[in-house]
């Protein structure tokens, strides 16, 4: 039994398809009696509109492309929840387009968005996308787009990102304020703009307090396993910090157990702080203070902006760059605030 079309309904009643179409959307041109009858029959025949046809006619789908560097358990699940929160009540759906950290795949993903007439695109770039490539990709895409989190320098498109430099600086200062002086840092992939900015903030905090910056005290890790290695290296080289800044949840999950494993005690021998989405720090004991990198919030903001672009006249507005700032959350290890995330 195939799905019934508007034509089937029309034939069944001996009326024109256009009449059915109008009746179903309560067009006043159709008499009340017939209108009800049509609705009845349509329901009985379990008619539902074929959205492919509707969208072809309307020249637009209600699909939003989500182009992200990779599907990870960090950050993006929150972002997606935030986005969904905004999209769902407005009838849009999200299409996942993971790029697996490959600029090539990223380009294909964007092409997909164009060919399928998606309503708009939310994108976070891979760690290997060059600013020039990113620019040209989005430019030729010619469709509403909002960049979030992993942005590129000087992009003339709307964006929603964390105040990275400031967040890292405040985190580091928090360590300094609590009396630490030999402060180490573990950062993400050095290609990323957010890494560069967070490193800058880290350095700024040090120099503001007259503390020396030592190359030996900073490490870069592409994932949790590398973060684990970073810690081991530092221990092996006997550059033992009395405090450690970790720029992300993923790094925490690699580095934190590595610290404990090496025999160093937290926080007695080494204070820690990180930039986090908020869930992970409460899952460790002793807990970790963090600057809240609110994934859901960023997702919501980005989605709202995109909906704005889509439903307004998309061509005019100047790009807006929203920087959301991170709130410091201090975790008393005796009474952690475990949120539902």
Partner DNA sequence: ATCCGTTGCGCAATCGTTTGCGGTTGATAA
Partner DNA sequence: TTATCAACCGCAAACGATTGCGCAACGGAT
Please state the closest distance from residue 140 (CB atom) to its own copies, in A: 8
Please state the closest distance from residue 317 (CB atom) to DNA, in A: 24
Yes or no: say if 149 and 75 are a contact pair by the CB < 8 Å rule.
yes
- When asked if residue 284 is in the footprint of its own copies (CB under 8 A), the reply is yes
Please state the closest distance from residue 105 (CB atom) to its own copies, in A: 8
Yes or no: say if 302 and 140 are a contact pair by the CB < 8 Å rule.
no
Neighbours of 79 (CB within 10 A): 25
Please state the closest distance from residue 333 (CB atom) to DNA, in A: 58
- When asked if residue 139 is in the footprint of its own copies (CB under 8 A), the reply is no
Yes or no: say if 168 and 247 are a contact pair by the CB < 8 Å rule.
yes
Please say which residue, 9 or 175, places its beta carbon nearer to DNA: 9
- When asked if residue 148 is in the footprint of its own copies (CB under 8 A), the reply is no
- Interface map 73-92 toward its own copies (x if CB under 8 A): xx-xxx-xx--x--------
CA distance 238 to 232: 10
Please say which residue, 4 or 200, places its beta carbon nearer to DNA: 4
Please state the closest distance from residue 311 (CB atom) to DNA, in A: 16
Interacting residue with its own copies among 17, 204, 240, 257 (CB under 8 A): 257
Q: Report the candidate in 193, 200, 177, 141 with the shortest Cα–Cα distance to residue 185.
A: 200
Give which of its own copies, DNA, none residue 43 binds (C-beta under 5 to 8 Å, depending on kind): none
- When asked if residue 315 is in the footprint of its own copies (CB under 8 A), the reply is no
Please state the closest distance from residue 260 (CB atom) to its own copies, in A: 4
Give which of its own copies, DNA, none residue 98 binds (C-beta under 5 to 8 Å, depending on kind): its own copies
Torsion angle, alpha carbons of 306, 310, 313, 317, to 10: 10
Angle at 153 between CA 152 and CA 159, to 5 degrees: 60
- Distances in Å between the Cα of 310 and the Cα atoms of 8, 93, 320, 321 are 34, 14, 15, 17
Please state the closest distance from residue 51 (CB atom) to DNA, in A: 8
- When asked if residue 260 is in the footprint of its own copies (CB under 8 A), the reply is yes
The binding site for DNA (CB under 7 A) comprises 5-7, 14-19, 21-22, 24-25, 28-35, 47-50, 53-54, 56-59
Give which of DNA, its own copies, none residue 63 binds (C-beta under 5 to 8 Å, depending on kind): its own copies
Yes or no: say if 338 and 282 are a contact pair by the CB < 8 Å rule.
yes
- When asked if residue 93 is in the footprint of its own copies (CB under 8 A), the reply is yes
Which residues in the 262-281 window bind its own copies by CB under 8 A? 279
Helix (H) or strand (E) holding 328: strand 327-329
Give which of DNA, its own copies, none residue 114 binds (C-beta under 5 to 8 Å, depending on kind): its own copies
Question: Which segments within 3-127 are labelled E, that is strand?
Answer: 63-68, 93-98, 120-123
Please say which residue, 63 or 218, places its beta carbon nearer to its own copies: 63
Please say which residue, 172 or 248, places its beta carbon nearer to its own copies: 248
Neighbours of 95 (CB within 10 A): 16
- Interface map 97-136 toward its own copies (x if CB under 8 A): xx------------xx-xxxx-------------------
Which residues in the 1-30 window bind its own copies by CB under 8 A? 1, 3
Give which of its own copies, DNA, none residue 32 binds (C-beta under 5 to 8 Å, depending on kind): DNA
Which residues in the 203-242 window bind its own copies by CB under 8 A? 223-225, 228
- Distances in Å between the Cα of 189 and the Cα atoms of 35, 87, 219, 248, 267 are 61, 31, 10, 11, 26
Please spell the DSSP secondary structure of 130-197, one letter per residue: -HHHHHHHHHHH-S-EEEESS--TT-SSEEEEE-HHHHHHHHHHHHHHTT--SEEEEES-TTSHHHHH
């Amino acid at each position: 039994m195939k799905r019934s079309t508007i034509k089937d309904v029309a034939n069944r009643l001996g009326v024109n398809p256009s009449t059915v179409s109008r009746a179903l959307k309560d067009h006043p041109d159709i008499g009340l009696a017939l209108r009800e009858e049509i609705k009845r029959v349509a329901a009985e025949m379990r008619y539902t509109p074929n959205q492919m046809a509707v969208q072809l006619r309307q020249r637009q789908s209600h699909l939003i492309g989500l182009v992200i560097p990779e599907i990870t358990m960090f950050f993006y699940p929150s972002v997606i929840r935030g986005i969904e929160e905004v999209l769902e009540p407005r009838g849009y759906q999200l299409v996942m387009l993971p790029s697996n950290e490959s600029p090539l795949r990223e380009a294909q993903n964007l092409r997909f968005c164009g060919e399928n007439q998606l309503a708009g695109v939310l994108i976070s770039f891979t760690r290997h996308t060059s600013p020039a490539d990113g620019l040209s990709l989005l430019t030729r895409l010619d469709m509403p787009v909002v960049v979030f989190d992993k942005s590129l320098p000087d992009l003339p498109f709307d964006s929603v990102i964390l105040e990275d430099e400031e967040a890292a600086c405040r985190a580091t200062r928090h360590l300094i304020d609590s009396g630490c002086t030999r402060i180490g840092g573990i950062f993400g992939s050095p290609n990323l703009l957010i890494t560069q900015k967070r490193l800058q903030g880290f350095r700024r905090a040090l120099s503001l307090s007259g503390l020396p910056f030592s190359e030996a005290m900073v490490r870069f890790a592409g994932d949790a396993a590398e973060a684990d290695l970073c810690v081991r290296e530092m221990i092996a080289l006997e550059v033992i910090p009395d405090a450690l800044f970790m720029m992300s949840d993923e790094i925490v999950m690699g580095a934190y157990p590595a610290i404990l494993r090496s025999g160093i005690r937290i926080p007695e021998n080494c204070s820690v702080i990180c930039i986090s989405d908020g869930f992970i720090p409460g899952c460790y004991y002793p807990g970790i203070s963090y600057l809240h990198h609110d994934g859901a919030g960023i997702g919501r903001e980005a989605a709202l902006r995109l909906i704005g672009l889509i439903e307004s006249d998309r061509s005019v507005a100047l790009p807006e760059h929203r920087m959301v700032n991170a709130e410091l959350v201090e975790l008393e290890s005796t009474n952690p605030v475990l949120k539902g995330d």
